[in-house]
């Protein structure tokens, strides 16, 4: 009898364990062990496909990380971004922040296909995005974190939300901070998550105004190092070359580290939205200095902020669905 009582107590304890690492959201919990029984190889499969894609093209790590960000800021982390346009849906892929720049969808298709073979109708596209973002960070030398899981996929998209909610390269600091606060994120999250620009590229069209006409007076941005600006003008002319790519962090473009913040202190941030972290707000400038001096602190804050961002308004329980194909809703 005593043994049975102990066994029951142990089961009760184990039932609570996932909650220690969980995030409470309206409608349910997300926790890292969500697929431990229903699809034990889920995380391994995601990591394997992401590793293959990043080995083939280093830039893909930043692309996958960006997709998670652009998904979460619109209607929450629900894979709405992945839906293609249909009769009833206008895809978020058409929005200004995503058009001609959001990429990596084929990698997600490959992950989803592998997961459907392993455990059909189990792992959501929203969770695939969250895991792929974490794995991309780790593969490029960044921090590891446990990803809370259990999100479900939306049955709709929001083009207007994508156009309005995602911070833009030319937004003021206050506008960007407001967009973060509307998602329940704060200034630490803003600066730490901006550090994802330690990897990846930006197009000429995203920062051209800094080189030629920052405030409408026909003059370049005085907060941009002039020798760096001259270098950028070589491949980003006044007109044409819109799609030409430039490293967001020219020091270590495919390595996840704190050199991005060191670049900002040297006035060599590529996007206006990067450099204003130093020039438009004292509190954000202090955080930039801290991260530039302490890579471990940056990693710690980045990981915490990624978990926080991943918890924005997920669909849980019976809300939403588990899509069979990430690009389209299930047909019933």
N- to C-terminal Cα separation, the chain: 50
State the catalytic residue, choosing from 70, 121, 255, 301.
70
| C-alpha dist (Å) from residue 318 to 75, 127, 154, 159, 219 | 17, 15, 11, 25, 55
Q: Per the annotation, does 80 bind a ligand?
A: yes
Q: Per the annotation, does 74 bind a ligand?
A: yes
- Rounded CA-CA distance 160/172 in Å is 20
Q: Per the annotation, does 78 bind a ligand?
A: yes
Q: Per the annotation, does 92 bind a ligand?
A: yes
Which residue bears the tokens 């293959």? 52
Q: Per the annotation, does 293 bind a ligand?
A: no
Q: Per the annotation, does 167 bind a ligand?
A: yes
Q: Per the annotation, does 278 bind a ligand?
A: no
- Rounded CA-CA distance 275/192 in Å is 14
* 224 neighbors 166 (Cβ within 8 angstroms): no
The three-state (H, E, C) secondary structure of the chain, written as one string: CHHHHHHHHHHHHHHHHHHHCCEEECCEEEECCCCCCCCCCHHHHHHHHHHHHHHHCCCHHHHHHHHHHHHHCCCCCCCHHHCCCCCCCCCHHHCCCCCCCCCCHHHHHHHHHHHHHHCCCCCCHHHHHHHHHHHHHHHCCCCCCCCCECCEECCCCCHHHHHHHCCCCCCCHHHHHHHHHCCCCCHHHHHHHHHHHHCCEEEHHHCHHHHHCCCCCCCCCCCCCHHHHHHHHCCCCCCCCCCCEEECCCCCCCCCCCHHHHHHHCCCCCCHHHHHHHHCCHHHHHHHHHHHHCHHHHHHHHHHHHHHHHCCCCECCCCCECCCECCECCCC
Q: Per the annotation, does 310 bind a ligand?
A: no
Q: Per the annotation, does 257 bind a ligand?
A: yes
Annotation marks residue 325 as catalytic: no
- Write out the binding residues: 71, 74, 76, 78, 80, 92, 167, 197-198, 249, 257
Instruction: Write out the binding residues for heme b.
Output: 197
Residues annotated as binding site for substrate? 167
Query: Binding site for Ca(2+): residue ranges?
Result: 71, 74, 76, 78, 80, 92, 198, 249, 257
Catalytic residue annotation: 70
């Amino acid at each position: 009898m005593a043994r049975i009582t102990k066994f029951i107590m142990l089961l009760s304890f184990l039932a609570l364990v996932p909650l220690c690492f969980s995030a409470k959201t309206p409608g349910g919990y997300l926790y890292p062990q969500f697929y431990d029984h229903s699809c034990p190889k889920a995380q391994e499969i995601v990591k394997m496909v992401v590793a293959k894609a990043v080995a083939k093209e280093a830039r893909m790590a930043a692309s996958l990380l960006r997709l998670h960000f652009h998904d979460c800021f619109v209607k929450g982390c629900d894979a709405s971004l992945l839906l293609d346009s249909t009769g009833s849906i206008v895809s978020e892929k058409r929005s200004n922040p995503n058009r001609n720049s959001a990429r990596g969808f084929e990698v997600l298709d490959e992950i989803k296909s592998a997961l459907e073979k392993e455990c059909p109708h189990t792992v959501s596209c929203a969770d695939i995005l969250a895991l792929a973002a974490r794995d991309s960070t780790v593969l490029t030398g960044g921090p590891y974190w446990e990803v809370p899981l259990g999100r479900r996929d939306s049955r709709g998209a929001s083009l207007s939300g994508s156009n309005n909610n995602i911070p833009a390269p030319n937004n003021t600091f206050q506008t960007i901070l407001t967009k973060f606060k509307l998602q329940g994120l704060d200034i630490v999250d803003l600066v730490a998550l901006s550090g994802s620009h330690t990897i990846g590229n930006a197009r000429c069209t995203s920062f051209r105004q800094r080189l030629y006409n920052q405030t409408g007076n026909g003059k370049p941005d005085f907060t941009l190092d002039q020798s760096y600006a001259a270098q950028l003008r070589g491949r980003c002319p006044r007109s044409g070359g819109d799609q030409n790519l430039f490293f967001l962090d020219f020091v270590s473009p495919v390595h996840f580290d704190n050199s991005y913040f060191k670049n900002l202190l040297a006035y060599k941030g590529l996007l206006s939205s990067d450099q204003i972290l130093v020039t438009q707000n004292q509190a954000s400038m202090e955080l930039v200095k801290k991260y530039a001096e302490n890579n471990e602190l940056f990693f710690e804050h980045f990981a915490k902020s990624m978990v926080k961002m991943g918890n924005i308004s997920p669909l849980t329980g019976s809300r939403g669905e588990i899509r069979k194909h990430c690009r389209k809703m299930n047909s019933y």
